[in-house]
Amino acid sequence: MSGIRLQGLVIADGAGERSRELVRVDELQVAPGECVAVVGESGAGKSLLLRALLGLVPRPLQVSAARMDVDGVDIAGASERELRAVRGSRIALVGQDALVALDPLRRVADEVSEPLAIHTDLRRRARRARAVGLLTDVAVDRPALRAAQYPHELSGGMRQRSLIASALAADPPVLALDEPTTAIDATVQRRVLELVRSLADDGRAVVLVSHDIAAVSAIADRVVVMRDGHVVESGATASVIASPSHPYTRELLTSARRRAPERRMIGDRELLSAHNLTRRFAHTAAVSDVSLRLNNAEVVGVVGESGSGKSTLVRMLLGAEQPDDGRVTLDGAAWSPLPESARRSRRTRIQLVAQNPRGAFLPTWTIGRTIGEALAAAGVPRREHAARIAELLERVELDPAFAGRRPRTLSGGQLQRAAIARALAVAPDVLLLDEPLSALDVSVASRILAVLRRLRDEGTAMVLVSHDLAVVGELADRILVMRAGHVVEEGTATEIFSAPAHAFTRELLASRAVLPPS
């Protein structure tokens, strides 16, 4: 058969006695017209497996295989020159971060048509026309206009579709996709996955790497589950989801299944309120006439697509950005618009946990030193720092020994929990969480959700921003749905999920990747 046929793949770090095996896959087959999903946590070896199929495993890692057929060509031991002839023409890769993968200095048409310049004799004008056609094929709106734009001018979903269009340019019979839907909106995710399924239905062999088994369950014919570099389970998607045989697969499925919203008693003291906030950039309103209130012991969720104004709203609530119109009050007193000097004495009362914790920690400082700085800002005596740091780390389910480690030695989930510990160090009244689970594995996200749920139950008030309505539904008492800078619907979590009033809310709910109950 053509497609992919892999036997005896081993990827190792080092050679001889010091060799450490990172990935071992005894057999993997993907037939034309089939979509096979490879799922597992970060570090499971999924991306290394995918890159081995293109000869892109980074040095000094060693790759060996008894057989590695891609569209009938055995690339095991192939030279770099031979691999260049295969890449793009027989197998193409779609990466996770389209903004990084696309050259910011080149127009979209040039990026999409690059494989044509490498593998065909088409002239520039013909390549450009083909690029517009490819953008049309992957359902990019106004393809001629988008072809003339630069990547930063496109939305996340359009950039991802443009990357898929580029992968299809030389019409490869095998397509490899590495986390193509991570950190994008549910509605965009659904459209990208539907596109991937249609590419398989057209006769391509598609291998799709993801950490989200729920997201790929609707389109994959078969699922391969990896952990610590090994395949622990594989089979037909429906069979694996209905009757998983390995404990790790059952853990992944449990993490992917979201809880239904629950009714809770909340406080009656208003801690944070926003009144008719508007923020304009040039002639466009990123946020338009948005109001919000948050009581003590309450969680308010804010959901919407990328570009809906969620993060701009968070920055105004934090006081990091001033509204053009409207105002924010904190515990009944003016908060915004005020100069920073007037807010400084109350700054510890409201804290932010951002999407990317690696950008929030100094890489040369230990975790303990960073948290200690927050404790000092809250006026905690230095002699009490060690005990308080240990207490805060335990509160977010981290061993106190993490205090001596630097950020680069922590996983994404561990670092996000450390970021929550630092925010809690100043005993804030309000936590602002801006996409705190985006791009994390479902099992890691599930653990952080458990931490946030416990903090909520202990009385911490939160504003939780996410593009994932299911995540917000697990924690929030009330939900605001935003679109194009406006709040289009507001209600309790139960009301939003059981009887959504707005068409966009219904679309968000319909786009969710939902696994059948266990």
Q: What is the pLDDT of residues 20-39, one digit of tens each?
A: 899 999 999 999 999 999 99
Q: Are 179 and 186 in contact (CB under 8 A)?
A: no
Mean pLDDT calculated for residue range 190-199: 90
Q: Which of 126-130, 213-217, 491-495 is the least confident region?
A: 213-217
Mean pLDDT calculated for residue range 218-237: 95
Model confidence band, residue 518 (pLDDT cutoffs 50, 70, 90): low
Q: Does residue 190 surpass a pLDDT of 90?
A: no
Model confidence band, residue 8 (pLDDT cutoffs 50, 70, 90): very high
- Please give the single-letter amino acid code of residue 405: R
Alpha helices in 217-309 (DSSP H): 237-242, 247-256
Residues near 507 by Cβ (< 8 Å), separated by ≥ 6? 187
Chain centroid, CA 162 distance in Å: 19
Please tell me the distance from the alpha carbon of residue 479 to that of residue 457, in angstroms, as a whole number: 18
CB-count exposure of residue 271 (10 Å: 0-12, 13-18, 19+):
buried
Reported as half-sphere exposure (CB side, CA atoms, 13 A), residue 203 has a value of: 6
Q: What is the pLDDT of residues 442-477, one digit of tens each?
A: 888 888 888 999 999 899 999 999 888 888 988 999
Q: Are 15 and 221 in contact (CB under 8 A)?
A: no
Report how far apart, in Å, the C-alpha atoms of 484 and of each of 187, 241, 286, 340, 345 are. Answer: 14, 36, 7, 29, 34
Alpha helices in 324-384 (DSSP H): 340-343, 367-377
Q: Which of 181-190, 291-300, 426-435 is the least confident region?
A: 181-190
Please tell me the distance from the alpha carbon of residue 186 to that of residue 218, in angstroms, as a whole number: 14
Cβ atoms within 10 A of the Cβ of 24, count? 16
Q: Which of 87-96, 178-187, 399-408, 430-439 is the least confident region?
A: 178-187
User: Tokens representing 470?
Assistant: 């299911």
181 or 501: which leads in pLDDT = 501
Report how far apart, in Å, the C-alpha atoms of 452 and of each of 57, 436, 456, 458 are. Answer: 37, 10, 6, 10
Q: Does residue 43 surpass a pLDDT of 70?
A: yes
End-to-end C-alpha distance for the chain, whole angstroms: 36
Average pLDDT, the chain: 90
Q: What is the pLDDT of residues 331-342, one digit of tens each?
A: 999 998 888 888
Domains and CATH numbers, the chain: 1-90+205-257 (3.40.50.300), 270-511 (3.40.50.300)
Residues facing residue 29 across a β-bridge: 5
Q: Are 225 and 39 in contact (CB under 8 A)?
A: yes
Between strands 270-281 and 325-330, the pairing is antiparallel
Q: Name the 3-class secondary structure at 78.
A: coil
Q: Does residue 1 surpass a pLDDT of 70?
A: no
Q: What is the pLDDT of residues 65-105, one digit of tens each?
A: 999 999 999 998 889 999 999 999 999 999 877 767 889 99
Q: Does residue 266 surpass a pLDDT of 90?
A: no
pLDDT of residue 298: 95
